[in-house]
Chain A
Amino acid sequence: MTQDKNLPEWKAQKTYTQNRADSELKATLPPLTPEEEARPFAKYYYEPLKQPDPAHYAAMEVPIDPAGAFGPEELDRMLDLKRLETQEVEVGWCNLPNGAGFIANTIVYPDVTAEMIDWWFVWHTLEDLRYRIWYPPQHAGIMLSPIDRARILDPDIPMREKNWGVTHYVTENCDCGMENVDISFRSPKDMGFDMDRFDKVAATFAGGGGWAVTVCKCDTLITAPAIMCHMFYKVPGGLRHRTRFWMGYRFTEDGKPELCLPPGVAVPADAVQGLARHNVKEFTRFGDFLPRIYKELGPSLYC
Chain B
Amino acid sequence: MPIKLMAASRRRPGLTRAEYFRYLEHYHGTVARLERFKIDRYIQNHVIDGAFGVLSDTSHKNKAVDREGVVELYFSEFRDMLDTLEPQGVEQSRANQDGKFFADEPTNIIVMAEEVELPVSNPRPKFNPGLGESGCGAVKVLHYIMRKPEVFPNDYHKLWRQAHDEAMAKSPYAQEMFRKIVLSKRARVNDNDAAARAHFRMVDPPVYDLVVSITLDSMEQVGAFRQYLEAMQESPLDFADWSESFFLYVRPVRIIDDAPPKD
Contacts and interface: CB of A to CB of B under 8 A. Distances in A.
Interface string A239-261: 00000000000101110101111
B194 interface: yes
Interface string B133-151: 0000000000000000111
The contact size tier of chain A is 20 to 34
B188 A16 contact: no
A16 B116 contact: no
B154 A167 contact: yes
B191 A260 contact: no
Nearest to B113: A253
B150 A252 contact: no
Given A211-B191, A253-B187, A263 B114 contact: no
B166 interface: no
Interface stretch (A37-45, A109-117, A152-160, A217-225): A217-225
B149 A263 contact: no
B97 interface: no
B150 A17 contact: yes
Given A259-B79, A262-B79, A16 B152 contact: yes
Interface in A252-279: 252-254, 256, 258-263
Contact of B114 (A17, A211, A222, A252): A252
A184 B188 CA distance: 12
A145 B155 contact: yes
Contacts of B191: 211, 213, 222-223
A18 B149 CA distance: 10
30 contacts: A15-B150, A16-B149, A16-B150, A16-B151, A17-B149, A145-B155, A146-B155, A147-B152, A147-B155, A148-B155, A167-B152, A167-B154, A184-B154, A211-B191, A220-B194, A222-B191, A223-B188, A225-B189, A250-B188, A253-B1, A253-B114, A253-B115, A256-B1, A259-B79, A260-B78, A260-B189, A261-B79, A262-B195, A263-B82, A263-B88
Interface of A: 15-18, 145-148, 167, 169, 184, 211, 213, 220, 222-223, 225, 250, 252-254, 256, 258-263
Given A147-B159, A148-B155, A253-B1, 20 more contacts: A16-B149, A17-B149, A145-B154, A146-B152, A146-B155, A167-B152, A213-B191, A220-B194, A223-B188, A250-B188, A252-B114, A253-B115, A253-B185, A260-B78, A260-B79, A262-B86, A263-B79, A263-B82, A263-B83, A263-B88
